Amino acid sequence: MSFLNYLVSGLSLGSIYAIIALGYTMVYGIAKMLNFAHGDVIMIGGYMCFFAVQRFNLPPVLGVIIAMLACTLLGIIIERLAYKPLRSAPSLAVLITAIGVSYFLQNAAQLLWSSNPKVFKSVVGNGVLTIGGEGGLIVSHVALLTVVVCVIIMVGLTLFVNKTKMGKAMRAVSEDKGAAQLMGIDVNRTISITFAIGSGLAAIAGVLLCSAYPTLQPTTGSMPGIKAFTAAVFGGIGSIPGAFLGGILLGVIENLAKAYISTQLSDAIVFGVLIVVLLVKPAGLLGKAVREKV
Amino acid sequence: MGEILKVDDINVYYGSIHAIKGISFSVNEGEIVTLIGANGAGKSTTLNTVSGLLRSKTGSITFMGEDMGKIPPHKVVEKGLVMVPEGRRIFTQMTVEENLEMGAYTQDPKGIKASLEEVYELFPRLAERRTQVGGTLSGGEQQMLAMGRALMAKPKLIMLDEPSMGLAPLLVDHIFAIISHLHETGATILLVEQNAQAALSIADRAYVLETGKITLTGTGKELLTNEAVKKAYLGA
């Protein structure tokens, strides 16, 4: 039974990675930039929910909504102030700016809320579900919620991108900004909306992450952020199902490596697998190799 | 037959390169006007400036009485000034129908179905391939898709940039037949072409561009028989 338990907690961790990776992949797919501050938006989301629920005693649902609103707004502001002026700049400049924004957010959080870790109370409590009686499969409510939320987000985003006018416009912008403009699509607005969606997702990821791993500090988002970025590349950056698959696989591999091989080496194993996958499939598991038609 | 587009003394630069040197021309309602010229004469630059992707340092561009100088490119489309870009630039990972829907982005969603039917009637080949992704179409089909996509925006003036580029002669004839057909049904067209023969034979009026300047203008027929044009562009 212990294998199943490891698998379930791996799925839950993987779902958190997947939600973060979906944010990365959306922004990369449409704006063609790696938003390295994404992980830190997660941390801000965690703090927002923490203050709403544990300081102002608001119900957890409201806490999540406040975190989402705050992060969406933050995402829009970051995009407007830091990235929009660089729209036609080389991608390296944007990348460095994103790293700068990441450090800015971490340091701002440290200044505002100190670097002392806060103990985050799970938004769904610490209850567990036991399947198969004594010694059976134990699934925490948080794990269950995380997996369910992740699947809902993945399906929702897929439908949004494929079925709605805005989603299709995003795909058009992702392929060819100039041609999208000639269709009458406001490219700047489309990119802003993409950031808003990505940041809203980051808030959800933040709340779920802190519910599962209850220490909240200014650097909380950075390691999950990097791993989720890895997951997005692993699955094929730009692809929504790819981010989902990459996130889940990364979480499961990490957890099983921790359980059966070595806790210290788990990260090395995860990144080792990534390197092997990219050697075999450079575009990632579900990534499309770019075909140039002349 | 009023003047629908008036371009007056535009100057466009790429950094320090002076690409367009004081060009002025106009298009009247219902006309096909063509800009011909060699590679690098500034034909595409002119169209890109009219559609707002590039900006002129001087002069003005007036479309249906409105100054377009400050209007962002996505708003230009809303006004009814629509461009089919050079190299078609269809969305290769979207289906034919999704490409056409994108063309109607500025339109009322209620009218899209009717517009789709019109485009499919004009290009039956697109109707056959409506669920295929754009990247799998042949060059000629991609050109049809690019034109169909522009028609979805219900243009008052449609600008075509090198529609015959890279197409087999038979397909070039087909594309030009469609342009003539659009003209007969009342469309106003600004056509940029390297294939001067084909362009002049369907154009009402034409301008010859040489290194960023207009050097000659006249009706399509006049220019077809003009000695200088014959020598330089018609290979006579």
Going by DSSP bridges, is the β-strand pair B157-161/B81-84 parallel, antiparallel, or unpaired? Answer: parallel
Please tell me which residue, A32 or A147, carries the higher pLDDT value.
A147
pLDDT of residue A198: 94
pLDDT of residue A237: 87
Residue A294 has pLDDT above 50, yes or no: no
pLDDT of residue A128: 83
Helix (H), strand (E) at residue B3: strand B3-14
- Name the pLDDT band for B228 (thresholds 50, 70, 90): confident
Query: A-chain residues within 8 Å CB-CB of B91?
Result: 171-172, 175-176, 179
- Rounded Cα–Cα distance for residues A130 and A132 (Å): 7
* A182 vs B85, B101, B109: nearest CB: B85
The answer to whether A250 and A230 are in contact (CB under 8 A) is yes
- Rounded Cα–Cα distance for residues B49 and B9 (Å): 12
Nearest to A66 by CA among A41, A47, A79, A43: A47
The answer to whether B95 and B131 are in contact (CB under 8 A) is yes
Closest residue in B to A166 (Cα) is B105
- Rounded Cα–Cα distance for residues A171 and A190 (Å): 10
CA–CA min distance B106, chain A (Å) = 6
Tokens of A234: 């692993």
- Name the pLDDT band for A1 (thresholds 50, 70, 90): low
Among residues of chain A, what percentage have pLDDT more than 70?
A: 97
pLDDT of residue B39: 84
Residue A113 has pLDDT above 80, yes or no: yes
pLDDT digits (tens, 9 = 90+) for A265-287: 888 998 898 889 889 988 888 87
Q: CB atoms < 10 A from the CB of B24, how many? A: 14
Range scoring the smallest mean pLDDT among A133-137, A233-237, B137-141, B164-168: A133-137
Q: CB atoms < 10 A from the CB of B166, how many? A: 14
pLDDT digits (tens, 9 = 90+) for B76-133: 999 999 999 999 999 999 999 999 999 999 999 999 999 999 999 999 999 999 999 9
Provide the residue ranges of all domains of chain B, joining segments of one domain with +: 3-92+154-233
Query: B-chain residues within 8 Å CB-CB of A181?
Result: 53, 73-74, 77
CA–CA min distance B117, chain A (Å) = 19
Indicate yes or no: CB of A168 within 8 angstroms of CB of B101.
yes
What letter does residue A114 receive in the DSSP assignment? -
pLDDT digits (tens, 9 = 90+) for B175-227: 999 999 999 988 999 999 988 989 999 999 999 999 999 999 999 989 988 88
Nearest to B188 by CA among B219, B157, B163, B149: B157
Q: Give the mean model confidence (pLDDT) for residues A57-72.
A: 95
pLDDT of residue A44: 96
pLDDT of residue A91: 85
Give the burial class of B70: count Cβ atoms within 10 A of its Cβ; 0-12 exposed, 13-18 middle, 19 or more buried.
exposed
- Rounded Cα–Cα distance for residues B66 and B59 (Å): 14
Indicate yes or no: CB of B91 within 8 angstroms of CB of A184.
no
pLDDT of residue B116: 95
| Chain-centroid distance, C-alpha B115 | 19
Residue A104 has pLDDT above 80, yes or no: yes
Q: Which residues does residue B208 pair with via DSSP β-bridges, in sequence order?
A: B36, B216
Query: B-chain residues within 8 Å CB-CB of A165?
Result: 101, 105, 109
CA–CA min distance B102, chain A (Å) = 6
Residue A98's region, left for phi above 0, alpha for psi from -120 to 50, else beta, is alpha
Which architecture does CATH list for B3-92+154-233?
3-Layer(aba) Sandwich (3.40)
A172 touches B at CB < 8 Å: yes
**Residue B218 amino acid letter:** G
Residue A293 has pLDDT above 50, yes or no: no
Residue A133 has pLDDT above 80, yes or no: no
Query: A-chain residues within 8 Å CB-CB of B100?
Result: none
Tokens of A96: 């460095």
Compute the CA torsion angle A152, A269, A258, A245 (nearest 10 deg).
10
pLDDT of residue A287: 79
pLDDT digits (tens, 9 = 90+) for B164-177: 988 888 889 999 99
Rg (CA), chain B: 17
Strands (E), chain A: 118-119, 128-131, 137-140, 215-216
pLDDT digits (tens, 9 = 90+) for A199-230: 999 999 999 999 999 899 999 999 999 999 99
pLDDT of residue B104: 95
**How many helices (DSSP H) and strands (DSSP E) are in chain B?**
10, 10
A262 touches B at CB < 8 Å: no
Provide the residue ranges of all domains of chain A, joining segments of one domain with +: 17-221
- Name the pLDDT band for A292 (thresholds 50, 70, 90): very low
Interface test with A, best of B75, B105, B110 (most A CBs within 10 A): B105
